[in-house]
Amino acid sequence: MATKKTVIAFDLYGTLLSTESIAHELAKVYGGDKAQPLAMLWRRYQLEYTWRINSMGEYKSFSEITRNALYHATAEHGLTLSEKDADALMKSYDSLRVFPEIPSALKILEENSDSVEAYIFSNGTDEMIGNSIKTSPDLGPHAGRFKSLVTVHGLKCFKPDKRTYHHLVEQVGKQGNPSEVWVVSANPFDIVGSRSAGLKSAFIDRAGKGWIDRLDENRRPLIVAPGVDEAIKSILKY
């Protein structure tokens, strides 16, 4: 009888891939002193736009939202953005760097391939995350570690809408058993959202501040880890 595998779904942007690594490309356009603040603001508005449009009951693709957030971030800094530079910066999402512990995490997944079924679970469109993974210099060569990419584009909504987590559960073949699916994310909204839908979750706390989100004390992560590699180890022991 085959051993039941542990299903783990990994958030992509901000968990495996560092959106702040895009600062290198921003520096080419706006200089090094503005690059990091711009990268952080771009990410802030990218997420804020998804939450706002969810609340409005409307939808734009994650690619469109990401581009619009870039224009917002540059305008807030009093900068101009040409279409050519916008195209180049959007293209840079295809070559984001991973966080330092991700190679170790990928090795753990490889060593435990008989007992772990790994997925990517993202707000991005199929094309966007497919490109981000395939052309990432760090993640691309290890894309085979993941059984499939689960995106929310077809649902026309974003995390933390419950429909996205129900969709994940269905896509990994765990209908009716959400507690058999783990979500690993560095985004607190993703953790609370997955817990509200009945899934297990592990929060990646790279800042070392612990779980400080206070939206819902009853929907805390079951695991808090300093990196994805440690989260996987803890899940396997859970």
Is 116 in contact with 6 (CB distance < 8 Å)?
yes
11 catalytically annotated: yes
Nearest to 169 by CA among 188, 153, 182, 186: 182
Angstrom distance (rounded) from CA 111 to CA 165: 27
Token code pair at residue 120: 């990517």
Tally Cβ neighbours within 10 Å of residue 155: 13
Tally Cβ neighbours within 10 Å of residue 25: 20
What values do phi and psi take at 149, rounded to 5? -105, 130
Spot the catalytic one: 11, 85, 138, 205. 11
Question: Torsion angle of alpha carbons 147, 148, 150, 151, nearest 10°?
Answer: 160
Burial class (CB in 10 A: 0-12, 13-18, 19+), 1: exposed
Strand ranges of the sheet holding 223-225, from the earlier edge strand across to the other edge: 148-151, 116-122, 6-10, 181-185, 200-204, 223-225
Tell me the three state secondary structure of residue 204. strand
Angstrom distance (rounded) from CA 15 to CA 43: 13
Which are the catalytic amino acids?
11
